[in-house]
Amino acid sequence: MGKLTGFMDYERRNNVYVPVEERIKNYGELYHRLDEEERRKQAARCMNCGVPFCQSAMTLNGMVTGCPLHNLIPEWNDLLYRGDMKGALARLIKTSSFPEFTGRVCPALCEKACILGSIDQPTSTHDNELYIIEEAFQRGLMRPRVPGTRSGKKVAVVGSGPSGLAAADLLNQRGHQVTVYERDNRIGGLLTYGIPNQKLPKEVVDRRRRLMEEEGVDFVTSCNVGEDMAAEEILHQYDAVILCCGAKKARGLTAVGMDGARGIHYAVDYLTSATRHVLGDDLGENFIDAGDKHVVIVGGGDTGNDCVGTSIRQGCRSVTQLEMMPEPPAERAADNPWPEWPKVKKTDYGQMEAIEVFGHDPRIYETTVKEVIKDPSGRIKAIKTVQVAFRDRHPVEIEGTLRELPCDLLLIAAGFLGAEEYVSQAFDLTLDGRNRVETKEDCCQVRRRKKSDSDKIFAAGDMRRGQSLVVWAIAEGREAANEVDGYLLGFGRSVRK
């Protein structure tokens, strides 16, 4: 696959970041993409390795390595290298519903499993994927695929995040009539309101919506199923229902002084506010602005990094990111060999920007918030932090490490605690100990609390799996679509064993 000596002839080249001093002035995309000649060289680096771990999605020591979508990576790398864009696109979208999303926001599990990565820099699969799909849109190759016949079956998908969109897309292609319900004013779920515009431009989501509408998918926004629309009503109207409502129950903090303090927000609410402002929505007093504020972010993951980058674009006075876990090593430890997921330190775009703007890394490790200090009006003005060490997997405060930091805006990016309960209650579903919707063994069909003859309800994405990656949500949506297709056409509860 690719050029037989490509991995020896060419060094890896990534898409080029827009310089920090330019990109922090706006919410435009972070990268300049390489031209066709250079991209074909990068595709040529894909080795004829025989056993492509990149598409395996194997679990090693509790961590997945390789693509959960089982993308045909060596095939479309070879076709890209040979200049066959139509062929590369055909192989890419055979397994990948939305390469324009994963090519921007996926942490590239495929590259971490690349065999070339065991001896050199891995193939730039992530950037190659994005190049193929963007070139396909630019060259007019992404045309509407309208089903030739319809089954007469109607499916409701509740939630328009990546799992809901993937399920809707696949079921529509199989001839069923699909309606997607979204409680927000725009589709996309966390693709729209949880990932900032500089990382995933919202016109990319809108472009996919227009294509899906041309293909026959209906979207109903500003409709909160379970509140605005009763579960009984939707079950009566549709032959099957897929719940893809995410895991948006945010994890809070237990610091002293938080009660009633103004200026404390969950990260997802902050990023939603920022994106709506960028898109021109009039938020009035509900706009959460980091401008001229000392910002502290609790949480060291991707969401925390996105808050760093967004705060800088809004003109914050300072930004600090607190991480309770120890600082990861710069290189793989001996007990973390390839092709396991590398547990190493990653400095992302937001942290890069903070280093250049403020002169230091915003991250402080093994530290948490102990107390919130308010001014007489009840607004946060500072926090007290304390260092922690883990004993039997539980954080323990280290005596003598109390420190006070100025803080006008405290953003909580500490993860999520599972699905919000109201949808599960409306559909009479069972939740497990992690607030995930319980489904029957080896399938997406839900378990209901009471005995019922209705077996038309399915669940997918973070609502079923728990908080995870966009690529996993897409894989979940496709799996649910396969099962619903089999259910509707009467050849079993699932076509995927």
pLDDT of 497 reads 34
pLDDT of 86 reads 97
Element (H, E) at 492: none
Q: How many CB atoms lie within 10 A of CB 251?
A: 15
Q: How many CB atoms lie within 10 A of CB 19?
A: 9
pLDDT of 452 reads 58
pLDDT of 441 reads 84
pLDDT of 3 reads 83
User: SS3 for 459?
Assistant: strand
pLDDT of 494 reads 43
pLDDT of 495 reads 40
- By the 10 Å C-beta count (0-12 exposed, 13-18 middle, 19+ buried), 492 is classed as exposed
* pLDDT tens, per residue, the chain with 497 residues: 668 899 999 999 999 999 999 999 999 999 999 999 999 999 999 988 989 999 999 999 888 999 999 999 999 999 999 999 999 999 999 999 999 999 999 999 999 999 999 999 999 999 999 999 999 999 999 999 999 999 999 999 999 999 999 999 999 999 999 999 999 999 999 999 999 999 999 999 999 999 999 999 999 999 999 999 999 999 999 999 999 999 998 999 999 999 989 999 999 999 999 999 999 999 999 999 999 999 999 998 999 999 999 999 999 999 999 999 999 999 999 999 999 999 999 999 999 999 999 999 999 999 999 999 999 999 999 999 999 999 988 889 999 999 999 999 999 999 999 999 999 999 999 899 899 999 988 889 898 766 555 689 999 999 999 999 999 999 999 999 999 999 999 875 444 43
Q: Which two tokens stand for residue 445?
A: 């069909």
Contact 200, 98 (CB under 8 A): no
| Residue 18: closest CA among 203, 205, 271, 198 | 198
pLDDT of 442 reads 84
pLDDT of 1 reads 61
Distance, CA of 240 to CA of 485 (rounded, Å): 9
pLDDT of 287 reads 97
Between the two ends of the chain, the Cα-to-Cα distance in Å is: 30
371 secondary structure, DSSP code: E
Distance, CA of 475 to CA of 40 (rounded, Å): 28
Distance, CA of 190 to CA of 127 (rounded, Å): 22
Beta strand pairing status for 394-397 and 240-243?
unpaired
Alpha helices in 245-331 (DSSP H): 267-278, 302-313
Q: How would DSSP label each residue in 48-115?
A: --SS-GGGT-EEETTEEES-TT---HHHHHHHHHTT-HHHHHHHHHHH-S-HHHHHHH---HHHHT-G
